[in-house]
Amino acid sequence: MELELRDILLAQKKAKDVIPASPLVRSSYFSRIIGSEILLKLENLQETGSFKVRGAYNRVSELAPEEKQRGVIAASAGNHAQGVAWACTRLGIKATIVMPEDVSIRKLLAVKDYGAEIILYGARFDEAYARALEISREAGHVFISAFADPFVIAGQGTVALELSEFQDRETAIVVPVGGGGLISGIAIAAKAIFPSVRVIGIQTKSCPSTIRSLQQGKPVSVEMHHTIADGIAVNRPGDLNFSLIQQLVDEVVDVDEEAIAAAILSLLDKASIVAEGAGAVPLAALMEGCITTKAKRYILIISGGNLEINTMDRILHRGSVKMGRLLRIEVDLLDVPGSLWKLMGIIAEEKANILHIFHDRFNLENPIQITRVKLNLETRGHDHATDLLTKLREAGYDVKQTS
């Protein structure tokens, strides 16, 4: 099946009364610090918390009556699972989702709430994926791919139709890339509407499968490492997706974990937007200067907002360090009355906020009369943190900054 704009327009027509257009908002703050107009496409506000409902609904709605009777099966640890379960519930079709055994409880319960049968299998996604294919062959369920399917791609491409009035030669659309379903669909529609618009893909350095594939000229698998952008942790792009990316996408770059964490925090702090790691990578790439394509306007696809509660604290901590909002220091003090008070006085004068303090009198590295003090300080940014460190060192303290 050769995908064209008309396929995406048809997908939009089918979903018209089911999947609302997501908001597109301008960020004055990010526009100012980046130096270009920044628009945020908030797919995190879709009912399941991500864009995946678009492709899943379009694919499931294409099933023949006999296929609907057989039911569908998919493999996913998160957003695709919720999208398929949601679409099947809307259309009255039985859905089975195979998820890895270590899937988060939050995601598992979300899929269950949408009415799908859940099978837990394997320690990794690829094992769950293989099991889903096996069940599909044995039981006759229709397998719904997360990205390597023309109808899924067409459904994801409807995002670009909602951006048509902003597309021109001065615009770049910045898209997270995992298996390639979202960016290939967006690229088809965007380039058909205005061929000079730029489409830029963002991956994580922990799983740069599309980047490596582009370098080698064919889809290749890469070794996956842990990433907070787990929604785009796909070790190999789909064949059809890769072909479309080769033809239509202008640039694909990657970002590191600290940059992603900082972007999550920035979106929360400056725009009141909850984005998961995959949804934050477009902003991370711009803030880090990774994108070489220059544009007067960037449209960032905030692809999802399913951020795990139990990992949010760690993500925000890493983001705070990256942004200079959290300063962690160690200072050795003479263990006499007033020493700690004097140190805290300088910190108070510099208007830093003490979040945590640990007074370690038993540190074996120090002489018995010396106490090591560890502090976590909230600061206003890198300049404020630097000023505070300078003041402390001018006062005679040997300050060590820790990560």
41: Cβ contacts below 8 Å, ≥ 6 apart: 22, 23, 24, 159, 162, 163, 299, 300, 301, 302
Residues serving a catalytic function are 52, 303
Cα 374 → chain centroid: 33
Query: Phi/psi at 370 (nearest 5 deg)?
Result: -110, 135
CA 73 – CA 83 distance, rounded (Å):
12
Show the tokens assigned to 191. 């380039």
Task: Return the number of other C-beta atoms located less than 10 Å from residue 335's C-beta.
Answer: 16
Cα separation, 311 vs 104, in Å, equals 11
199: number of Cβ within 10 Å? 26
DSSP track, 40-91: EEEGGGSTTSBTHHHHHHHHHHT--HHHHHH-EEEE-SSHHHHHHHHHHHHH
How many C-beta atoms lie closer than 10 Å to residue 173's C-beta? 30
Q: Among 198, 216, 210, which Cα is nearest to 253's?
A: 210
Q: Which residues pair with 399 in a beta bridge?
A: 331
Distance CA 280, CA 199 (A): 17
3-class SS at 136?
Answer: helix
DSSP assignment letter at 23: P
* Closest of 332, 338, 329 to residue 390, by C-alpha: 329
Degrees, nearest 5: CA angle 269-275-280: 90
Beta strands in 179-296 (DSSP E): 198-204, 251-255
Burial class (CB in 10 A: 0-12, 13-18, 19+), 65: exposed
Q: Within a 10 A sphere around the Cβ of 191, how many other Cβ atoms?
A: 21
CB atoms within 10 A of CB 71: 18
